[in-house]
Structure 1
Amino acid sequence: MKADLTPREIVAELDRYIVGQDAAKRAVAIALRNRWRRFKLAPDLRDEVLPKNIILVGPTGVGKTEIARRLARLAGAPFVKVEASKFTEVGYVGKDVDSMIRDLVEQGVALVREERSKDVQPRAEELAEERLLDLLLPGSRDSTREKLRGMLHAGGLDERQVEMEVLPFGKKAKKRKLGVPEARRLLAQEEAEKLVDKESVVREALERVQSNGIVFIDEIDKVALPSGQSHGPDVSRGGVQRDLLPLVEGSTVNTKYGPVKTDHVLFIAAGAFHVAKVSDLLPELQGRFPIRVELEALSQADLVRILSEPRNALTKQYAALLGAEGVELVFDQSGIAELARIASEM
């Protein structure tokens, strides 16, 4: 994370990818900045400062998920998106709510492992090169080896093949003949795995999850009980809410990497709330989401901006994809306006 970003700067970063929804951007920006502020506090006070969880209310497709996902990338934080409607009350067949924390830990481990692998990549490539030279010409003298190294760097050996042991996922190692570029890539990957300390990866991942993790709970409205309904399958909706409550309040979840405290995990819930209302959630759960933001429906003008302004706009993506084939694709403003008009009427 760019640790010293102010809320204004965080909003500016989000603006590069998301059109409109200023209130939601400000809310998540302040939540992220408060995490940075928390780490500046004395340890005894730091533990007392809990995150202000957020509920985003708005129709499908207005940017709720993208705001949370971009926030997590900006923070370099473990992030997981779940759908509240996929969970069942403890005791029923289905996924229990604790699984979202276990998934968050898996994301944290993968994130830290990837960062550590990048750190050791130069050394891993050096070691892989030495192993590859051994495979190409075992027992070669220094002068011959250096000549071979020069040919390798110049791409002169790319058509050669070497025999080496590979380890297919979930299977025993077996020998295969591979081209030099592929063998070099696999050897570098193996060396990077050896250089990365797995225990320290897990320790850092657990710390990041506990202090910076973000859980995005979509379709939270699907487990709300609309006024007057409290029978049949709707009872299980209330059970899911009751199971969520300890996680959001702060509890300990056992994972295969060790126990994880959720006290400082940021929870962002979202829903369209067409039938149910936020007030139909359990009062205790509502109280754990003190920040409520209404997202605006997208106008035709918003859709024009979405198709043309963000760095990852679909028009730019398709132009780049076809550019890989040597085809130049250009969208003029009238074409974009027509696409936006059709989309707004669907």
Structure 2
Amino acid sequence: MMPRQRLTRSRALKLPPLPAATTAPPTSTRRPPDPAPCRRSLSTVHNSAAHRSRNFSSGFSSSYDPSLDPGRGPIFTKSNFGVPQFYPRDLKKRVDDYVVGQDRAKKTICSVIFNHYQGLRRRQHLEFRDQRLWEKRQRQRLNHDRDMREQRDPHSVADEFPGHDEPVREDAKSLYEEIDKSNLLLLGPTGVGKTYILETLSNKLNVPFTISDCNSFTQAGYIGQDVETCVERLLIEANYDVKATEHGIIVLDEFDKLAKKENINGRDVGGEGVQQALLKLVEGSKVTVNVKENRSSRSATPITSNYGPSGSNPSSPASQPPSRVEQYTVDTTNILFVFCGAFVGLDKTILRRVSKPSLGFGSAIASRAGSSFSGSKEILPAAMYAHLPHQPPPAAAEARPSSSRSTTTTSSPFPSGGGFTPLDLTTPADLQAFGFIPELIGRMHNICALAPLSLGELFRILTEPRNSLVAQYTALFETYPSRLFFTRRALRAIAQRAAANETGARGLKMEMERVLADPMFDAPTPYVLITEACVSGREKAGYWGKDGRMELMRRLDEEDEADDAATRPAPTSESFGQYREAGQSGA
């Protein structure tokens, strides 16, 4: 009887009511409706939501996309790409600090390099955007599959069917326009700054840059260097970074030496054969570069063997293991190629093309001034401005003379003839007549000619740039220690002698070495003065001790004042009359 009484008491006890969330579901066979999703703000992202699963003991599950930005202001839909760090005019300002003159060439070079790297930035931006979009879709797909597994819905979505898979990744390159590179051809005499402008820009941009001499290039299979050597040098310059190498700049110097030769005995392996090899390289191809590991710049110390005999030299070739050859595949599609050359004799081909016959009815008679015009270092007269391939000045076309008498009286619309030379009239037909195949000429999209340096520009090169020759030799003499001074007449005499040598800016270095040979040998001397007589060889350089600074400055000022008086223009009658009238009026 006792067990029965205990059971009756337990039934009489009042248990506390259970919470509503823990109430047992009805035991009917009908499927209960889905509970409403409980949404709560887990983050500042508006589309992040929490979903209550069917299993009440599993808690909450949420989907979060970190690729979306939490703050969306008025410019959220604007592109954060397109504002470069510099523009071509900014590049030109940097180049002006080191290079004097050649304004037209500097504008063209800066624009070409800027557009090249702007196209690369655009391509990288689009690839990065496509990568983020693909990753976002992958996360959304994984979140969707996880929610479907948690809900355990046996029915598939209407737009899905068994065996259907989304495309892993679309071809992103077909969705946007490709911007092709624009190769550059620089024409001009030696020493005018063709390669120096490119070197200055590469140092400022901090990009892989290399200069290869085309004189040593030969066709594959012959003694010499293959054209792929320039890609290998660029890879070494980029510290074996293939990605950086594919965005570098290759300068092919002495490119005019690759012109095919006429009347040559045997096969032309250094001319047309190299041009044919450059076609694929310039257009874009994959080049395999073989590099030995022990010769690379990454291995600073030689590889030694721990199993060699005692007392052997670890740096000897016998103690080193055989070098392993590493292969790098470089795509030259996005490498910018710049061709440089003096093209001696091309001006004759150009003048032969633009000159008209002087015989026959209705033909213009060639003037004596025009007949004496020859050479790529001469300034183009205004009468030939109409032959410029790109936008000739309208004033020159209107002022074009029709007879020899009007030729001598026509003035140029630009000072000093505008700085144009016969090489500015270069066309693809002229390059083909010079000895280049048309397939290679078509891959040179920009042709820019550099003018020869004038006497004033040579004088400015001595003093104006940051690394000018006067600043270099002054710093050198300070290490002796000595103080070096130049008069303006001395610098002008050095520029005149360099211009007579016709070697461009390189002739300035030669003249400075000649003038400073004795002062460098007689060092150390506290004060050294170089005058015009010292440059011409009539006198020796002036030396002073520590107490001779006042005498040196007096002589320096005297010669500079004499130079100012000689270069000051003489007053004309009109200017003197205006000066007298202004003085009488009290202005």
Q: Is residue 274 of structure 2 the alignment partner of residue 240 of structure 1?
A: yes
Question: 1:206: Cα distance to partner?
Answer: 1.2
Q: Is residue 148 of structure 2 the alignment partner of residue 66 of structure 1?
A: no
Distance in 1 (alpha carbons) for counterparts of 2:442 and 2:194 = 21
Q: Is residue 474 of structure 2 the alignment partner of residue 330 of structure 1?
A: no
Question: 1:329: Cα distance to partner?
Answer: 1.0
Q: Name the structure 2 match of 1:308.
A: 463
Q: Name the structure 2 match of 1:13.
A: 94
Change (3 A) 1:46 1:238: farther
- From 243, 252, 258, the equivalent of 1:207 is 243
- Give the aligned residue type for 1:28: I
Q: Name the structure 1 match of 2:227.
A: 97
Distance in 2 (alpha carbons) for counterparts of 1:81 and 1:47 = 31
Q: Name the structure 2 match of 1:134.
A: none
Q: Name the structure 1 match of 2:207.
A: 77
- From 22, 27, 43, the equivalent of 2:103 is 22
Change (3 A) 1:50 1:232: same
Say whether the 8 Å CA contact 1:221–1:278 is kept in structure 2: no
Distance in 1 (alpha carbons) for counterparts of 2:267 and 2:95 = 39
Q: Name the structure 1 match of 2:535.
A: none
Distance in 2 (alpha carbons) for counterparts of 1:282 and 1:10 = 33
Report the 3-state secondary structure (helix = DSSP H, G, I; strand = E; otherwise coil) of the residue aligned with 2:181: coil
Report the 3-state secondary structure (helix = DSSP H, G, I; strand = E; otherwise coil) of the residue aligned with 1:259: strand
Q: Name the structure 2 match of 1:48.
A: 178
Q: Which runs of 5+ in 1 are unaligned?
A: 110-201
- Give the aligned residue type for 2:340: A
Distance in 1 (alpha carbons) for counterparts of 2:476 and 2:180 = 44
Say whether the 8 Å CA contact 1:68–1:268 is kept in structure 2: no
- Give the aligned residue type for 1:29: C
Q: Name the structure 1 match of 2:284.
A: 250
Higher relative contact order, chain-length normalized (CA < 8 Å, sep 6+):
1
Distance in 1 (alpha carbons) for counterparts of 2:244 and 2:471 = 34
1:1-346 aligned within 5 A = 4-38=85-119, 39-41=121-123, 42-43=126-127, 44=173, 48-109=178-239, 202=240, 205-211=241-247, 213-225=248-260, 232=266, 234=268, 236-255=270-289, 256=291, 258-275=328-345, 278-279=431-432, 280-346=435-501
Change (3 A) 1:93 1:235: closer
Distance in 2 (alpha carbons) for counterparts of 1:61 and 1:283 = 28
Q: Which stretch shifts more, 94-103 or 35-44?
A: 35-44
Q: Name the structure 2 match of 1:131.
A: none
Say whether the 8 Å CA contact 1:210–1:265 is kept in structure 2: yes
Distance in 2 (alpha carbons) for counterparts of 1:225 and 1:4 = 43
- Give the aligned residue type for 2:236: E
Distance in 1 (alpha carbons) for counterparts of 2:269 and 2:224 = 15
Change (3 A) 1:315 1:47: farther
Question: 1:72: Cα distance to partner?
Answer: 1.2
Change (3 A) 1:326 1:281: same
Q: Name the structure 2 match of 1:117.
A: none
Distance in 2 (alpha carbons) for counterparts of 1:304 and 1:343 = 10
Question: 1:233: Cα distance to partner?
Answer: 5.6
Is the radius of gyration larger for structure 1 or structure 2? 2
- For 1:250-301, what per-residue CA distance to the aligned partner results, in whole angstroms no more than 9, with x for missing partners? 0111123510000011111111111356333111111111100010011111
- Give the aligned residue type for 2:333: D
Distance in 2 (alpha carbons) for counterparts of 1:230 and 1:263 = 34
Say whether the 8 Å CA contact 1:28–1:71 is kept in structure 2: no
Change (3 A) 1:290 1:229: farther
- Give the aligned residue type for 2:106: K
- For 1:125-175, what per-residue CA distance to the aligned partner results, in whole angstroms no more than 9, with x for missing partners? xxxxxxxxxxxxxxxxxxxxxxxxxxxxxxxxxxxxxxxxxxxxxxxxxxx
Distance in 2 (alpha carbons) for counterparts of 1:300 and 1:29 = 25
Distance in 2 (alpha carbons) for counterparts of 1:345 and 1:26 = 28
Distance in 2 (alpha carbons) for counterparts of 1:33 and 1:328 = 42
- For 1:76-95, what per-residue CA distance to the aligned partner results, in whole angstroms no more than 9, with x for missing partners? 11111111111001111111
Question: 1:108: Cα distance to partner?
Answer: 0.5
Alignment length (residue pairs): 249
- Give the aligned residue type for 2:201: L
Distance in 2 (alpha carbons) for counterparts of 1:318 and 1:46 = 54
Report the 3-state secondary structure (helix = DSSP H, G, I; strand = E; otherwise coil) of the residue aligned with 1:93: coil
Change (3 A) 1:91 1:281: same
- Give the aligned residue type for 2:330: V
- Give the aligned residue type for 2:483: E
Change (3 A) 1:332 1:81: same
Distance in 1 (alpha carbons) for counterparts of 2:272 and 2:117 = 35
Q: Which runs of 5+ in 2 are unaligned?
A: 1-83, 128-172, 292-326, 347-429, 502-587
Give me the CA root mean square deviation.
2.0
Greater percentage in helix:
1
Q: Name the structure 2 match of 1:159.
A: none
Report the 3-state secondary structure (helix = DSSP H, G, I; strand = E; otherwise coil) of the residue aligned with 1:14: helix
Structure 1 stretches of 4+ with a deviation exceeding 4 A read 228-231
Question: 1:302: Cα distance to partner?
Answer: 1.2
